[in-house]
Structures are given as structure tokens and as C-alpha cells.
Amino acid sequence: MNLDWYQENKVSPDYSIGVDEVGRGPLAGPVVAAAVWISLELAIRLKDSDELIVRDSKKMTKLQREKVVNWMQQQHPELLRYSVGQATVEEIDRLNILNAALLAMERAYNFLGIHKKYVLVDGNRTPDLKNTETSAVVRGDDKVLSISLASIVAKEHRDAIMRKLAIEHPHYGWETNVGYGSQQHLQAILMHGITRHHRKTFCKAIKRRIASFFANHN
């Protein structure tokens, strides 16, 4: 991860916060967002490190993500801060997934407890953060260091939630599919029904996927 984006856009890590979310697509579980502030000093150190890979969390292995999160936890709060926010399944059903994701982002930012001039958000939509200037960065999780770190934190946090829920509901394979519509997950829905952790407004999509799965396997 280099610092070219910051230089090209004349934005310093010192004065900006990165925000990203994970979990828009799953059939079960919350949507989770993270907010990260990293100082320019630490960003330069990270740029020169050969030990850590920082990029879009979906392009990283679990071990790579865990190493980054462990490294973040060891940093002094004057150099790096991060926080997590989420929106529940009930909020997803009530607000729709886009608005729930924006709510999770807003909560993550508020939990961070610091104010910077810019908030950089992955994608093409930004939450309403009142008097804070927000900028949407398409594919920001592969371009902007603080957004990449936020995507890693959010991914690891949500995966941990789903692994914990998998203990309570062992049939659905959440320890590996983290709530997405895998074959095991779809079959379990057919056999065991929908839990309170499933997104009810996704039921039509669930039925379509199940029908498609069995149509292709008969």
C-alpha cells in the first residue's frame, strides 16, 4: 500500500479518516463498518514495511488480515485509532441494506471520537456526518490506506460475530460462509428454516437461490 492517492488528491492521512463496511450481501448477520485514523508518521512506516500486506480485505487471506489487526492493536492512540459500528438484522429489514450500511458507517465514525477535516468513504455513497466533509472513493479499499485498514477491521469483526453465531446455529456453516448464500447455507435453510439472525427482507432472494440450486442439481 503506497501513499500516492493522498499525494495526488492533496489529502494528508493526518487530517482524514477512512470508513468502510462489510456484509451487504449475506443472507444473515449484521452489516458492520469501521472507521480508521492513521497518522502520516505511521503511514510512512507502514509503507516501508515488508511484513504487512494492506489492501482490500476481500483480496487478503485471513492470516494476512489478522496480522494487520494485531499490528493495529499494538499502536499508540496518538498514531492510530479505529472503531467499529454495526446495524442489526432488524435495522436492515426496516431501513433496507443501503441505509443500514450508512447507519453502521455513521456509528463507526461517532464511536471513533475524534474529528478530522475529511472522512473518506469506500464506494459511491456517504453517510450524513453533519458538519464533517465526506468524500466517496470508488474502490477506495484498494487505493486509500485508512479505508483499506477500515475494510480489514470490519471484515475481521464481522467474521468473528458469525463464527460465534455458528456455535448457536451449527447447521448453516456460518463459521466458513459468514452468512453468505453457500450451498450448505441454502440447504440448511430448506431443512431447518430461517433463524432470528436471517434478514427477513432477503427471504424472496433466499427462495430463488434455493430453487435455482435444486434445479441445477436434479
Does 160 have pLDDT greater than 60? Answer: yes
Other residues' Cβ atoms within 10 Å of the Cβ of residue 116: 18
Instruction: Provide the mean pLDDT of the chain.
Output: 93
Q: Cell numbers at residue 44, please? A: 510512512
How far is residue 190's CA from residue 210's CA, in Å, rounded to a whole number? 8
> How does residue 213 score in pLDDT terms, banded at 50, 70 and 90?
low
Q: Which CATH number fits domain 4-167: 3.30.420.10, 3.40.50.300, 3.90.76.10, 3.40.50.720?
A: 3.30.420.10
Cβ-based neighbour number of residue 57 at 10 Å: 25
Grid coordinates representing 153? 477491521
Going by C-alpha positions, the residue among 146, 80, 74, 211 that lies closest to residue 135 is 146
Tell me what pLDDT residue 4 has: 92
Cα angle for residues 42, 44, 46 (degrees, 5° grid): 70
Q: What is the pLDDT of residue 204?
A: 66
List, as one string, the DSSP characters of 133-201: EEEEETTGGGT-HHHHHHHHHHHHHHHHHHHHHHHHSGGG-HHHHTTS--HHHHHHHHHH---TTB-GG
Span 53-79, average pLDDT? 96
* 99-157: pLDDT as tens digits: 999 999 999 999 999 999 999 999 999 999 988 999 999 999 999 999 999 999 999 99
Whether residue 178 has pLDDT greater than 60: yes
What is the reported pTM?
0.93
